[in-house]
Amino acid sequence: MASFLFSFFALLTVICAVGAVLNKNTVNAAMCFMLSLIGVAGLFVLLEAYLLAFVLLLVYAGAVAALFLFIVMLLNVQGGQRKPFKLVTVVASTVAAALLALGVLTLYQQPALIPEGTSLPPAASLKDYAYQMFSTYLLPVQIIGFLLLISMLGVIVLSKKIETGESAP
């Protein structure tokens, strides 16, 4: 069952990521991006990294992608004609795909990274993460939240339509 779930989430992630890159409609591309993030969160759950899955869904799929959708819908951006791919882009994509395939094949040829009999350090608890987040990393978390707020306000100001009517007395 775990193998099936891994294949499902990996396929969902790859297909939705390709859909996000190749889609002409920005709203559909953002929805594909959100589905791709859900697939990655599913992979994190399979790895028993529940906190990473939750943070990924909460921060990226919930906040960043929703903010992107809000910006796209607010600006009412229309997709134009797409230019054909240049030869350099096609060659670079082919080389990147070949390197990725070579990396995956090499990964399956290597022995396990952790030898048997070696014990792993104990996993940190959620309480430890929360303590570090609200003590050690409190300032960076607040700065990121403030930057997201500023970016949202900037989009609202930039998207406001300016009427050029001569209605002044």
pLDDT tens per residue across span 5-29: 888 999 999 999 998 888 877 778 8
The C-alpha torsion from 67 through 68 and 74 to 78, rounded to 10°, is: -170
Q: What is the pLDDT of residues 47-102, one digit of tens each?
A: 888 888 888 888 877 777 777 777 777 766 555 666 676 777 778 878 888 887 88
pTM of the model: 0.54
Convert 88-138 into a string of H (helix), E (strand) and C (coil).
HHHHHHHHHHHHHHHHHHHHHHCCCCCCCCCCCCCCCCHHHHHHHHHCCCH
On whether the CB atoms of residues 32 and 16 are closer than 8 A, the answer is yes
Distance CA 73, CA 26 (A): 9
Q: What is the pLDDT of residues 103-130, one digit of tens each?
A: 777 767 666 555 666 665 666 677 887 7
